[in-house]
Structure 1
Amino acid sequence: MTAPGLLIAAPRSGSGKTTVTLGLLAALARRGLRVRAAKSGPDYIDPAFHAAASGAPGLNLDSFAMAPAQLGRLAGEAAAAADLLLVEASMGLFDGIAGEPGRTGAGADLAAMLGLPVVLVLDISGQSQSAAAVVRGFATHDPRVRIAGVVLNKVASERHRLQAADAIAAVGVPVLGSLPRDAAMALPERHLGLVQAREHPALAAHLDRLAATIAAHVDLDAVAALAAPMRLPGGGWTTPRPPGQRIALAQDEAFSFVYEHVLGGWRAAGAEIFPFSPLADEPPPEGCDVCWLPGGYPELHGERLAANGRFREGVRRFAASRPVHGECGGYMALGEAIEDAQGIAHPMLGLLGHVTSFARRRLNLGYRRARLLADGPLGPAGAVLRGHEFHYASTIRPGGDTPLFALADGTGRDLGLAGSRRGLVSGGFFHAIALE
């Protein structure tokens, strides 16, 4: 028997989904409920906030990258020791890519597949009764998806609330609560989204404030009562093999983007993980057989990383005899240099030949399929992985290394060769989520 679940969604980004999700998690946990949370889609930052609010590890559920059986297994495991699972959608509820039905990456895919009732967060600033038309449209857009309730956000006054709530009530969808306009409820942001949870200067106090606000303005009993038992798809899927038996994993404010399901998969396969901090000038532990440099924000710490000789020499020594792989930010650090936002170039590990720049920004965002061109930490040659890219850094000098994979976007459009490999070192901007 697993916990019932709900999907917290909205018509668009910026409506307050994360604020409401965190407030609900914190408020319900303070009532003694065992709550778990998951994020729909490829997101490293929100799950860390979910973990802080719920007291349990965060999780990603991605309908594009993950097979239905894997989604069912992960959702079931998350809910097995909980009283309630809250899944936070990304962007708008129905926003995804064109392609195979149910594999678009949209939050609506999860609502339909897992049978999750949807709580719609509506930012009603600049409108009142028109909010009912939005609710009606969302309630009738896809018969597989049930809008079970609404939380109003950025309510200006009692009159404003009544106008919107009365109109929505006529649609037949209950209004579960309404949040006043309050800039203090927002979390700080930077170029890839929210500032990381570990960097928030007063996260516990902020979560306390969100919990109190939600408890005062949202009917928590009504929200919990809307949750429904999940339908968990069965079947099997191929799990990526761990990159090694003893994995040296860079972990700090510069390198922190690792999915919980990936770490869990490595551990389940018998691998051991040994964190080290490049920012603290730590080298990868010598007893490990592979080094993994995940994504993050090395462009914000270029001067410090360039000065950390023990880290740089330790990774170079490691790479002489054992595999080293870098994803996105880790890939940037493997190159010759990183140019920061001010245009200052900071020398990096020099194990690959490229140079990247955060001063010359260009947004790269979207789902990807990557076919490996050689054996390596990501898997054997020919294997196809699903994942994504999300970075602003641009490559200003490609270097002359051998490509690592053939890349396509989520719809299958060819994007050419990408990534780099030289000897035992490999990397690319591509973040792997699951095997195809």
Structure 2
Amino acid sequence: MRARGLIVAAPRSGAGKTVATLALLAALRRRGLAVQAAKAGPDYIDPAFHYAATGRPSFNLDSWAMPPAMLDALVSEGGAHADGLVIEGVMGLFDGIEGATGRSGATSELAAQFRLPVLLVVDVSGQSQSAAALVRGFASHDPEVQIGGVVLNRVGSERHLSFVAGAIAALGVPVLGALPRDDALALPERHLGLVQAAEHADIAARLDRLAALAERHLDLDAILKLAARPHLAAGPGAAAIKPPGSRIALAQDEAFSFVYAHMLDGWRRAGAEIVPFSPLADEPPPDDCDCCWLPGGYPELHAGRLAAATQFREGLARFAATRPVHGECGGYMVLGQGLEDADGVRHAMAGLLGHATSFAQRKLHLGYRAARMLSESPIGDAGSVVRGHEFHYAALISPGSDAPLVELEDGQGRALGPSGGRRGHVTGTFFHAIAASAD
């Protein structure tokens, strides 16, 4: 492959790696480089910001859900026509679940598999020389993971910078940038993470400011020199989810936006056509499609509009009478009888499955999932296992009487019981599919 790459990671969540990543991506694009971004772990929101910064669709890399061959194939394909590859980490660099070596979901496993250097973003607010002890620990924790350089974040002053950088210099780990403490750099958040990139009317101006910030405060030449060619094993990619139809009606708007790029790319490579439509614009699934997919997103923020979208709901019911309809997470909520919004107001949903959900009675559901299919569905054949995750705050307030769709285990193999629902051609679950299990 053509691209050289690196991984932007941090000791913990909230250290500023997304802002640092976007600043780096925007600055490199401003230099005229074709930069490919990727995101470690199960995340829909950060890749949309990557796309805004680079003009190229970003993709996910997850060492728990995806087997090594699939990771290799994604990196090879993604870097084939780019000058550089920047992978944004998830949580802290070594954070993952307990499990088989190389399959914990930690960013460090990607660094080890691809032999890519890590650019460590360290939030130094509230400390000075002590930051060197932290960097020393990360640099020596795993001999398979190379800390190639450090970017200091939330630096308070030149004096503060001199104390921190001076202490780190003794370690032999270069400081390749220092971003100032500035609350205006933070991106607004909501319950599932950052407010989506498409909802920022000023996204271009924000990225211009971040590019200028990187040009002033990062050693871009040294960062480019740090990048290395990914180590890739020969062999075909594997574990893609097969397309659920030849023409797939895909709900796509602010309420339905959580769909993985590698899923859509895999469907297209297999010969399927993706046909978008907008439930929020009261559009039904196109009648010339043979499957309808309702992805996750934020239906709880648009429940009133969805309830009033009669053409969408009636068209979805007509479609479901003869063809498969599948809903993931938010899509599953919309397939049910009703959805309570944050104020406890219940809104009628499609009524194609028997359950009801509530965003007023919030409870966090978060974690990897292995799902064994109890019957054939758009995400797999009966008996097959699909790996993915759950991340939502909605509560199931009425389970309904539909047959369950899957039998779930958590990321460590502990049984979680049946989940989701199926009725006629309609299926749905809170579970987000990432890859067919190769185990």
TM-score grouping bracket, smaller chain normalisation: over 0.9
1:414 aligns with 2:415: yes
Q: Which residue of 2 aligns with 1:98?
A: 98
Measure, in 1, the Cα distance between the counterparts of 2:239 and 2:3.
26
1:258 aligns with 2:259: yes
Which amino acid letter does the alignment assign opposite residue 352 of structure 2? L
Measure, in 2, the Cα distance between the counterparts of 1:162 and 1:307.
59
Q: Which residue of 2 aligns with 1:120?
A: 120
Measure, in 1, the Cα distance between the counterparts of 2:30 and 2:239.
38
Quote the offset at 1:53 in angstroms.
0.3
Q: Which residue of 2 aligns with 1:290?
A: 291
Measure, in 2, the Cα distance between the counterparts of 1:290 and 1:32.
40
Measure, in 2, the Cα distance between the counterparts of 1:235 and 1:414.
33
Quote the offset at 1:235 in angstroms.
2.9
Measure, in 2, the Cα distance between the counterparts of 1:376 and 1:428.
11
Measure, in 2, the Cα distance between the counterparts of 1:330 and 1:239.
21
Quote the offset at 1:200 in angstroms.
1.0
Structure 2 unmatched runs, 5+: none
Which amino acid letter does the alignment assign opposite residue 46 of structure 2? D
Listed as ranges, the matches of 1:17-416 within 5 Å are: 17-236=17-236, 237-416=238-417
Which amino acid letter does the alignment assign opposite residue 436 of structure 2? L
Measure, in 2, the Cα distance between the counterparts of 1:187 and 1:381.
42
Which amino acid letter does the alignment assign opposite residue 271 of structure 1? A
List per-residue Cα deviations over 1:168-202 (Å, max 9, x = no partner): 01011000010111111111110000011110120
List per-residue Cα deviations over 1:42-81 (Å, max 9, x = no partner): 0000000001101111110111111101100100111111
Measure, in 2, the Cα distance between the counterparts of 1:217 and 1:312.
51
Which amino acid letter does the alignment assign opposite residue 248 of structure 1? A
Which amino acid letter does the alignment assign opposite residue 363 of structure 1? L
Measure, in 2, the Cα distance between the counterparts of 1:341 and 1:398.
20
Question: Would the aligned equivalents of 1:250 and 1:278 in 2 still touch at CA under 8 Å?
Answer: yes
Quote the offset at 1:376 in angstroms.
1.3
Question: Would the aligned equivalents of 1:71 and 1:233 in 2 still touch at CA under 8 Å?
Answer: no
Question: Would the aligned equivalents of 1:66 and 1:434 in 2 still touch at CA under 8 Å?
Answer: yes
TM-score, with structure 2 as normaliser = 0.99
Which amino acid letter does the alignment assign opposite residue 241 of structure 1? K
Quote the offset at 1:416 in angstroms.
0.4
- Segments ≥4 residues shifted beyond 2 Å: 233-240
List per-residue Cα deviations over 1:120-160 (Å, max 9, x = no partner): 00000000000000000000000000000000000001000
Measure, in 2, the Cα distance between the counterparts of 1:233 and 1:45.
29
The share of aligned pairs that are identical, in percent, is 67
Aligned length: 436
List per-residue Cα deviations over 1:260-316 (Å, max 9, x = no partner): 000000000000010000000000000000000000000000000000100000000
Question: Would the aligned equivalents of 2:240 and 2:263 in 1 still touch at CA under 8 Å?
Answer: no
Which amino acid letter does the alignment assign opposite residue 377 of structure 1? P
TM-score, with structure 1 as normaliser = 0.99
Measure, in 1, the Cα distance between the counterparts of 2:234 and 2:399.
44
**3-state secondary structure, aligned to 1:37:** strand
Question: Would the aligned equivalents of 1:255 and 1:297 in 2 still touch at CA under 8 Å?
Answer: yes
Q: Which residue of 2 aligns with 1:434?
A: 435
**3-state secondary structure, aligned to 1:63:** coil
Question: Would the aligned equivalents of 1:40 and 1:62 in 2 still touch at CA under 8 Å?
Answer: yes
Structure 1 unmatched runs, 5+: none
**3-state secondary structure, aligned to 1:295:** coil
List per-residue Cα deviations over 1:81-101 (Å, max 9, x = no partner): 111100000000000000011
Question: Would the aligned equivalents of 2:66 and 2:239 in 1 still touch at CA under 8 Å?
Answer: no
Question: Would the aligned equivalents of 2:67 and 2:239 in 1 still touch at CA under 8 Å?
Answer: no
**3-state secondary structure, aligned to 2:281:** coil
